[in-house]
Amino acid sequence: MLGWSINLFRVRGIQLAVHASFFVLLAWIAYEGWQLAGWIGVIWSVVTLLTFFTCVVLHELGHSFTAMHFGIGVRRILLMPIGGMAEFEEIPRQPMRELLITLAGPAVNFLIAGILWLVVGLRTDAEYPATAVGFAQFILHANLVMGCFNFLPVFPMDGGRILRALLASRMPYLKATFWAARIGRTLALAAIAVILFTSWIPWIERPQDRVLPAILFAFIGVAGEMEYRATRRRDEEDAHWRTVVARLSAAPAGTEPPQLSVGPIGPSQA
């Protein structure tokens, strides 16, 4: 399903793509704007959404440029209705590198929020008038929320990756990934239950407002489990080839190498 995307342009060699489902969100936001204020509402809502996702792209570029600094290739940045995702060629197994790459994304959001705070100040209420200042205030708050939200320890969100990096400094990488994914899945399920069955979240008033956040946490839970399995599979492949090399190296000189049964090994996933 991640292949249902449209390529837009490249930034320093990184392909920016948008998932086809994003246009469903765009249409829904435009319809909501039409219901509120006709064509003016459509324009305001669409511009606000596109500006918000521009901040999402900048967040992902923060991760990507830091990864490239460490020599890690970045295939693309994919925008979806639930956010963005940078696809790396590999995830560094050095805890400090993963920590720096992870922190770079929220740091971009806090930088944007800081710049806007210097320009327009910070309002404490949730009212955003239909003015340039009101628009800037909304983007400021959105970046603060985005930066803080990503620190939730729900793997593979940024907070979950920070947790994995900290665990990996104390235990084997695969075990750290297992526990980060297990904790993340538990918290994701708890978040879905809170979103769907409680009224604790004041800004969720209508039933339809619960759908997208629930889908977001469901996707995060599944993605965390998929990354753990990919990490385990890569470790198994590496162990398999180490065994192959060791057996070939142990063969006496002048003898035929031992016959090894080597099954098909797929490409590793990061």
**pLDDT score, position 35:** 86
60 is catalytic: yes
Is 10 a residue whose pLDDT tops 50? yes
pLDDT tens string 160-204: 999 999 999 999 999 999 999 999 999 999 989 888 887 766 666
The pair phi, psi for residue 76, each rounded to 5°, is: -165, 165
CA atoms within 13 A on the CB side of 202: 1
Is 42 a residue whose pLDDT tops 70? yes
Q: How far is CA 84 from the centre of its chain?
A: 6
Helices within 70-131 (DSSP H only): 95-120
Straight-line distance from the first to the last Cα atom of the chain, in angstroms, rounded to the nearest whole number: 17
pTM, to two decimals? 0.81
Measured over all CA atoms, what is the biggest interatomic distance in the chain, rounded to whole angstroms?
Answer: 84
pLDDT tens string 72-93: 999 999 998 888 999 998 888 8
In the chain, what are the domain boundaries?
1-150, 152-248
Active site residue: 32, 60, 225, 236, which one? 60
Length of the chain as a residue count? 270
Cβ distance 141 to 103 under 8 Å? Answer: no
249 vs 268, more confident? 249
pLDDT tens string 92-127: 889 999 999 999 999 999 999 999 999 888 776 667
- Angle subtended at Cα 84 by Cα 79 and Cα 88, rounded to the nearest 5 degrees: 105
**pLDDT score, position 185:** 92
How far is it, in rounded angstroms, from Cα 232 to Cα 239? 11
Helices within 4-157 (DSSP H only): 22-69, 95-120, 132-149
